[in-house]
Chains A and B, each alone.
Chain A
Amino acid sequence: MLISVDLITGALSFLFTVLIFSYLLGDNPLFRIGSYIFVGVTAGYVAAVAMWQVVYPQLLYPLVYGSMVDRILVFFPLLLTGFLFMKISPRTSYLGTPAMAYVAGISAAVTVGGAVLGTIFPQTLATIDIFDLARANSPFASLVSGVIILVSLVGTLAYFHFGARVTSDGTLRRFVVIELLSWVGRISIAITLGVLFAGVLLASLTAFIERIASWSIFFSSF
């Protein structure tokens, strides 16, 4: 008798949900079995994906079947890959440092570029754009919203400003305007984190309901 892949998938899904939900009773062997198998399967899957989608098509295939230009272009990452494998042994680990430095340098540059062009400029421009009342459907409401957003943005940034001056009695004190803005920032951060917390809570409750519903679907399939 052939058992369908869907039935096996459903049974596995049910089993692993029970194993993980057993954590609600505290840390126990069932939860550990579930989590260790999860780590193993995920690591094996990630390694297979890395081989199929990156290492083979971008490194091995051009080396074996590519043109001379492809082979020259693949030489440098191949060399760094060799150095990277030196990290496995503590004795040759230092040889892998240039490869790690290459990745760190590229990551740092991408981070700097992303921070400036992907966050700081767009977020600042978006805040300025709210005050473009000519494009707003309701100019007064847009102006009020813009002022609230601007004050809470500046307040949030002021909250993380830790510069202070020494007063005559030797205590450290922030500038009055910074202190006021910082208080507004505290409230603003509390509201923002509250909204984020509520979003995560609702998402996790949805996941809870989805898991219970999956049991119902699994049992109704018999």
Chain B
Amino acid sequence: MKVISAAFAIAFGLLVLAGYFIPALAPIQAVLIKWAGILLAVSALIGVFNLVIVHGEKIRSREKSNAYSTLLLISLLLTFVFGLALGPGHPIMQGVVNGVILPVEASLMAILSVTLLYAAIRLLRRRVDVMSVVFLLTVLLIVALSLPFAGIPLLGDVLRPWITQVWAMGGARGILIGVALGALTTGLRVLLAMDRPYGGK
């Protein structure tokens, strides 16, 4: 099974990679990627099924937090059954998205502002070096320059773009290229079966 798995990863991976550089292979690449999309959707379903099993087990064994697990299972099953029967685009399902999912995501994002401010203050107390001082000064400057300075156009219109589009651009490009080089190396290691994240090593 290990050999079959590695052969699957290498053969199909190299075919898809070749599709980027050989136009004749592009249709095959599209079909293979579509199949991977189907498998990812099925993986998501299996993940949800696993969530049901884990929380079902918590309820069955009467663990301490089983009341929360009950809430989770009821909300999951109701949403899934209604979603399956009505479709995700139905007004009731959109009501669920607008009434539960979006408000919770926005509220978590809002809480993040408090957490970030706290982290910034802690950074100044814990570590005072050139990097953290430059970092915090940049944060202060960008936040201050984002405020509407009606009478001082030079600050918001010139200084802010100069920092974000020149000074930060080089660093951002360096980080992006570094991440891409890392991703490239990791991808090649999987394609050469040096790393087997699917198991079998």
Contacts and interface: CB of A to CB of B under 8 A. Distances in A.
A23 B111 contact: yes
Interface in A48-83: 48-55, 58-59, 73, 76-77, 80-81
A207 B107 CA distance: 7
Interface residues of A, number: 118
Interface in A73-122: 73, 76-77, 80-81, 84-85, 87-88, 94-95, 97-120
B44 A47 contact: yes
Contacts of B48: 43-44, 46-47
A5 B188 CA distance: 51
Q: Is the interface of B mostly helix, strand, loop or mixed?
A: helix
Nearest to A39: B72
A217 interface: no
Contacts, number: 400
Interface of B: 1-2, 4-6, 8-17, 20, 31-46, 48-51, 65, 68-69, 71-80, 82-84, 87-88, 91-93, 95-104, 106-114, 116-117, 120, 130-132, 134-139, 142-143, 146, 163-181, 183-184, 186-188, 190-191, 196-200
Given A102-B12, A106-B33, A112-B188, 6 more contacts: A20-B111, A98-B1, A105-B16, A112-B17, A154-B174, A191-B134
24 contacts: A9-B98, A9-B99, A11-B99, A12-B100, A13-B100, A20-B107, A40-B73, A41-B100, A45-B96, A47-B80, A48-B87, A58-B34, A84-B43, A95-B1, A98-B4, A117-B20, A152-B169, A156-B173, A159-B174, A160-B178, A190-B135, A192-B171, A202-B143, A204-B113
